[in-house]
Chain A
Amino acid sequence: MTDIQSLQDPEGLVTGHELSHQVGAEVMIQITDMNKWFGSFHVLRDINLTVHKGERIVVCGPSGSGKSTMIRCINRLEEHQTGSIVVDGIELTDDVKKIDMIRREVGMVFQHFNLFPHLTVLENCVLSPIWVRKEPRRQAEERAMALLERVKIPEQAKKFPGQLSGGQQQRVAIARALCMQPKLMLFDEPTSALDPEMIKEVLDVMVQLAESGMTMVCVTHEMGFAKTVADRVVFMDGGQVVEQAPPSTFFTNPTSERTRLFLSQILKH
C-alpha cells in the first residue's frame, strides 16, 4: 500500500500523456479509508482515492473486483459503511438533502443505459432539469437539443429509446446526464453492453467530453481509451485499490505483480 500512496501526488501524474490539459488543485472527490460490505461480504476494503477537478480517472480490474461498487458509492447508489466520501466539499451521509445535492452535481452513465423507455429521447433529457432544477421547459429543451447535437443524434429527439441502437441509446444517456450540467461524470462500463461497431461512437463522445475539461471517473475495459484519455489509471482487485499510476507508467512499468498479470491477460490479444 505504501508505494501506492506516493502515487497520489497529482503534480507527478499530469506529465507524459497524450491529451494535455489543466488539472486543478481543487479536490472533486476525496475517498478516505472507505469500507463496504454486502451482508457479510467485505466488498470494498480501505479505499483511498483523490480525484481533482478536471482529472480523468479510468478504473479497471477483473470482474468482481469492486470497481463498479466503488463508483456507485460516489453518488450513493451504494451505501458505504466506514470511512468517508467527500464530493465537491459535501460529505456523503444519511442526510437525504446532501445526497440529492451531490446527485445534482454528479452525472452517471450506466452499462445498460437505463433510459426511461416510456419517454422520448428529448423527454428523457429534460425530465431532471425541469423537475429537479426547476428550469423552464423551453430552456431545458434548448440545452437538451444542443447536447444531442453534440453526441450527434439530434434527429432522434422525438423517438423512443426502444427504437434506437445500443450505441445511440448510450449517447442519449450521456446527453441526459450532461443536461443536468454536472461537475463530475461517472461512467460504469459504458461500452460493455455494446456491439463492437458501436463502441467507437460512444468512446468518441467520451473523448470529446474529456477534451472539454470534464472531471470523469470511468470504469472500463477499453485500454485504448485509458491510454489516450486518462490522467491516471486505478487498478482494483479483491475490493482494494492495488495500484494507481498515469497510463504511461501503468501500462509499461506497473509496480505490482498483480497488475502485471492482469495487463498480460487483457493485452494478450
Chain B
Amino acid sequence: MAHSDPPSSDTGFRPIPPQPPPVTVVGPVRWVRDNLLSSPLNIALTALGLYLLWLVVPPLIDWGILTADFVGSSRDDCTSGGACWVFIATRLDFFVYGFYPDAERWRVDVMFAMLAGFLVPQFLPGVSARVRKWLGIFGLTVYPVISGVLLLGGVFGLEAVETGKWGGLMLTLVLSYVGIVAALPIGILLALGRRSHMPIIRTICVLFIELWRGVPLISVLFMASVMLPLFLPEGVNFDKLLRALIGIVMFQSAYMAEVIRGGLQGLPKGQYEAASALGLGYWRATGLIILPQALKMVIPGIVNTFIALFKDTTLVLIIGLFDILGTVQASIVDPAWGRVAIEGYIFAAFCFWVFCFGMSRYSQGLEKKLHTGH
C-alpha cells in the first residue's frame, strides 16, 4: 500500500527502521516461563500435571505396546498380560466389511481406494487448486453413483449384494458420506427457504426444520425401520438401509439448515444490496456472492455437524444394521476371546477419531485458504 512507503526526504521525517525483538521475548525458554512457570500457583499446577502424566502414560504404553500381543490367531496367543491386539487383527475383516461376501470384497476396496484417491490430495501441499477442485467435484457427484453401483451390484455382471450384508467401517462410511453429501445441499435450500419472502415456501421450510430438529435421531430411525412399513401398502418394501439413510439425511439437513442460516444472517446487508444494485438476480446473487461468503463463515459449524453426523451413524445399531461399532460390539461378546472389550472399544474409538480429526484438520486448512484479509 502507498501508505507504507517512507515519505520523501524533504519533509525531514525519518521513520525508525524496524529492530529484531529482544531474545527474552521469543523462543522456547520464554514460552516455558510464560505458560508453565509464571507464578507459584502455575509452578504447582505444572508439577501436578507432570505427576499425573507420569501416573497414566507409562502404564498405558506398557499395556498398549510393550507387553501387548500383536501376532497370532486366537486368544491363546495373548499371553503376555498386555493388550490383545491379536483380536483386532483377526477380526479386522469383519470390522471393515461386515458380512459382505469374501469374494466380492474387492468392490469395497475399490470404493475405499477411490475415496482415498480424491480425499488425500486435498491435504497434500503441492496439488494445484484446479486438480483439487475437479477431484472434489468427482467426489461429490460421480463417486457416490459409482460406489452405489459397485456395492449394490446386480448390473454389469456384478453379483447383487443385499444391503443387509453391508457392515463395519464400510457401512459407517456409506451412511456418513451419503449423509454429508446430501444434507449439505438440502440444508442450503432449507436455509434459503426459511429466509424467503414467499410465505408458503418459508412455512414449509420452517415446519420441516422444526419437525426434524425436534425429535431424537433414534426415534427417526425407529420410525423409518419399524413404523414406516406399517403405513406402506402390502408388497411395497423399501430397503432398510435406504430408509435409515433417508432418516439420517432429513435429520441432519435440518441441523445443517440452521447452521447455514446463521451464516446468511451474519452477512452484512450491504452485500445483498450491492449484488442487487449490480443487476444480479436472486439465484446469481445467492450463488456468486451470498453463499460463498456465508458458507465460508460457518465452516466450523458445518464441520461440527458433519462430525456429529459421522458419529451418529452408530445409532443404526438399534435398527439392526452393523456399523463399525456394531461389528466391534458383536465381536467382543464372543466367549472364545474372553475379555477384549477394551481393545475393541479403543479400536473403534480410534477409527472414529481418525476420520473426525481429518475432517477437523481439513476445515482448518480450508478456513485459512479462503481467508482474504477482511
* A residues whose Cβ falls under 8 Å from a Cβ of B: 75-77, 96, 100, 103-104, 106-108, 110, 112-118, 127-128, 131-132, 160-165, 168, 176-177, 180
Interface pick from B78-86, B134-142, B241-249, B270-278: B270-278
B3 within 8 A of A: yes
Could you name 27 residue pairs across A and B whose Cβ atoms are closer than 8 Å? A77-B273, A96-B281, A100-B279, A103-B276, A104-B279, A106-B277, A107-B277, A110-B270, A114-B268, A114-B270, A114-B274, A116-B271, A116-B289, A116-B293, A117-B293, A117-B372, A117-B374, A118-B292, A118-B293, A127-B278, A127-B280, A128-B278, A131-B288, A132-B278, A164-B1, A177-B278, A180-B278
A115 with B274: in contact, given A160-B373, A162-B373, A180-B279 (CB under 8 Å)? yes
If over half of B's interface residues share one DSSP class (helix, strand or loop), that class is named, otherwise mixed; here it is helix
Contact among B1, B279, B296, B373 with A165 in the assembled complex (CB-CB below 8 Å):
B1
Chain A residues within 8 Å of B268, by CB: 112, 114
A108 with B374: in contact, given A127-B288, A131-B288, A164-B1 (CB under 8 Å)? no
CA distance A114 to B277 in the complex (A): 11
Chain B residues within 8 Å of A104, by CB: 279
The smallest beta-carbon distance between A87 and chain B, in angstroms, is 13
The smallest beta-carbon distance between A256 and chain B, in angstroms, is 32
B284 within 8 A of A: yes
Interface string of B253-289 (1 = CB under 8 A from A): 0000000000000001011011111111100100011
Chain B's closest residue to A130 (CB) is B288
CA distance A113 to B268 in the complex (A): 12
Chain B residues within 8 Å of A118, by CB: 292-293, 296, 370, 372
A75 with B374: in contact, given A114-B271, A118-B292 (CB under 8 Å)? no
The smallest beta-carbon distance between B237 and chain A, in angstroms, is 46
The 4 A-B pairs with the shortest beta carbon distances in the complex, nearest first, are A162-B374, A162-B373, A114-B274, A114-B270
CA distance A104 to B279 in the complex (A): 5
Contact among A75, A100, A163 with B281 in the assembled complex (CB-CB below 8 Å):
A100
Interface string of B81-96 (1 = CB under 8 A from A): 0000000000000000
CA distance A70 to B42 in the complex (A): 62
CA distance A88 to B270 in the complex (A): 25
Chain B's closest residue to A173 (CB) is B274
Chain A residues within 8 Å of B280, by CB: 127-128, 131-132
Contact yes or no, A160 B270, CB < 8 A: no
Contact yes or no, A103 B296, CB < 8 A: no
Chain A residues within 8 Å of B372, by CB: 117-118, 160-163
CA distance A100 to B285 in the complex (A): 12
Given contacts A112-B270, A117-B293, A128-B278, 16 further A-B contacts (CB under 8 A): A75-B277, A77-B273, A100-B279, A103-B276, A110-B274, A110-B277, A114-B268, A116-B271, A116-B275, A118-B370, A127-B288, A132-B280, A160-B372, A160-B373, A164-B1, A180-B279
CA distance A183 to B289 in the complex (A): 24
Contact yes or no, B284 A131, CB < 8 A: yes
The smallest beta-carbon distance between B329 and chain A, in angstroms, is 45
Contact yes or no, B276 A161, CB < 8 A: no
Chain A residues within 8 Å of B281, by CB: 96, 100
Chain A residues within 8 Å of B289, by CB: 116
Contact among B279, B293, B370 with A128 in the assembled complex (CB-CB below 8 Å):
B279
Contact yes or no, A165 B284, CB < 8 A: no
The smallest beta-carbon distance between A158 and chain B, in angstroms, is 12
Chain A's closest residue to B374 (CB) is A162
Contact yes or no, B3 A165, CB < 8 A: yes
The smallest beta-carbon distance between B271 and chain A, in angstroms, is 6
CA distance A168 to B2 in the complex (A): 10
Chain B residues within 8 Å of A165, by CB: 1-3
